[in-house]
Amino acid sequence: MEQKILSSIEGINIYGIISICIFFGFFSGMLLWAFALKKTYLTKMSDLPLEGGETNSTNKNQS
């Protein structure tokens, strides 16, 4: 039933092509961004959770 409904819509095949292009563009952009990151930035971000110094304010003064 869905196949008959979708085949009756004019130009429905362009949506599949557009969605693949958007996905490929986004994926390629994220890949380029990841490779363009500086090593110092990655090291700083990876060490951030280990620095400490912050306390969880929700656990303070609970009875």
Mean pLDDT of the chain: 82
Indicate whether 56 belongs to any domain: no
**Residue 61, in any domain of the structure:** no
- Is 49 within a domain? no
Q: Is the pLDDT of residue 1 over 90?
A: no
**End-to-end alpha carbon distance in the chain:** 61
Look at residue 48 and tell me if it is in a domain.
no
Would you state the pLDDT for residue 3? Answer: 74
For residue 26, tell me if it sits in a domain: yes
Model pTM above 0.75: no
Read off the pLDDT of each residue in 14-28 and give the average, rounded to a whole number. 94
CA nearest neighbour of 17 among 25, 5, 29 = 25
pLDDT value at 48 more than 90: no
Predicted confidence at residue 35, as pLDDT, reads 93
Say if 17 falls within a structural domain: yes
12 contacts: CB under 8 Å, gap ≥ 6: 6
Is residue 62 situated within a structural domain? no
User: What is the span of the domain harbouring residue 1?
Assistant: 1-35
Domain tally, the chain: 1
